[in-house]
Amino acid sequence: MSQILKLLAQRIALSLLLLFLVSILIFAGTIILPGDVAQSILGQSATPEALANLRAELGLNDPPLTRYFAWLGGILQGDLGTALTSGQSIADAIGTRLGNTFFLAFWAALVAVPLAIFLGLLAVRYRDRWPDKLISAVTLTSISIPEFLIGYVLMYFISVRLGWFPSVAMINDGMNLGQKLNAIALPVMVLTLVVLAHMMRMTRAAILNVMQSAYIETAELKGLSGFDVIRKHAFPNAIAPIVNVVMLNLAYLVVGVVVIEVVFVYPGMGQYLVDHVSKRDVPVVQACGLIFAAVYIGLNMIADVVSILTNPRLRHPK
């Protein structure tokens, strides 16, 4: 048990260190961007005096190291800063947007994860036969097509031609769950198609690797059916790599939804980030980048923790 606790502590410490390093990269990347924040706020007709006063007010004349630690200190206290273009608290604006992104990612994961695992089990059960080849061909085709193209194709056929779901995924607090699910149906379809192939292929590969073990042969000799051998013996012992790939794709569902949110005009973090990148609202870009990094690193840390806890060699060292 002490070895497990040591490994868990190492993974958590490494994740925190990585997040700290990423915060430095995010801050450095935003301050070296071309252009002038004060100029973008006041416009091209601003006088030099007005620009100088605004730069002083925003702290743009302070040394970068001072600005970084002031920014980091505010984040540690729960203060993400204020949007330069609107004067609104970034934390207040992001609260609703982040909830919308998590809502979309949750329903996409609820569809994609069980479907990917089921298709992976089915592909193993009918290995090298037509169901396996058909599943692999369809999923690999879906992952090879850019997600924005899938979005526009589904929007045209399902929304414009058939009229089943709205083409714009707008949700608000006044909508009930059914209305929200109807609004996000198309983005959920696109995200499912995007992440399905990777999870299915890794599930298939992990189970096939376990199927070569001696205890699988013993289970087959006992007369168990092929699907029972996979479900009762192979799948539980392949759970660690499957969890890893699921967590990576869950991270993508939260971090990588920027394109999908823009395509479907979904009021999430991705749309919020893109809107403020065009305005060169640096505090918003920094806050969104750090939140995306924290989610990605956090989910990968959870995957590492699950892998450690499900490793029989660590749980039973003797």
Which residue type, as a one-letter code, is found at position 249? N
At residue 201, the pLDDT reads 77
81 within domain boundaries: no
Task: Please indicate, yes or no, whether residues 100 and 177 belong to a single structural domain of this protein.
Answer: yes
Q: Which residue among 45, 76, 107 closes a domain?
A: 76
Q: Span 50-55, mean pLDDT?
A: 69
Which residue type, as a one-letter code, is found at position 6? K
Can you say whether residue 168 is alpha, beta or left, with left for phi > 0 and alpha for psi between -120 and 50 degrees? beta
Task: Please indicate, yes or no, whether residues 96 and 64 belong to a single structural domain of this protein.
Answer: no
Domain count, the chain: 2
At residue 179, the pLDDT reads 80
Q: What is the pLDDT of residues 84-102, one digit of tens each?
A: 766 677 777 787 788 888 8
Q: Span 161-188, mean pLDDT?
A: 80
Residues facing 82 on adjacent strands: 89
Rounded CA separation 15/227 (Å) = 38
| Residue 268 DSSP symbol | S
CATH of the domain at 154: 1.10.3720.10
Q: What is the pLDDT of residues 143-162, one digit of tens each?
A: 777 777 887 888 888 888 88
Q: What is the pLDDT of residues 217-273, one digit of tens each?
A: 565 556 555 566 665 556 666 666 677 777 777 777 777 777 788 888 788 787 777
82 within domain boundaries: no
Q: Are 314 and 4 in contact (CB under 8 A)?
A: yes
83 within domain boundaries: no
**Phi/psi of residue 89, nearest 5 degrees:** -65, 130
201 within domain boundaries: yes
**Torsion on CA atoms 83, 89, 90, 93, rounded to nearest 10:** -110
Task: Please indicate, yes or no, whether residues 137 and 285 belong to a single structural domain of this protein.
Answer: yes
Task: Please indicate, yes or no, whether residues 183 and 305 belong to a single structural domain of this protein.
Answer: yes
| Residue 180 DSSP symbol | H
Residue 286 has pLDDT above 70, yes or no: yes
At residue 60, the pLDDT reads 66
What range does the domain containing 52 cover? 2-76
pTM of the predicted structure, to 2 decimals: 0.73
At residue 193, the pLDDT reads 81
Q: What is the pLDDT of residues 196-232, one digit of tens each?
A: 777 777 777 777 776 666 556 565 556 555 566 665 5
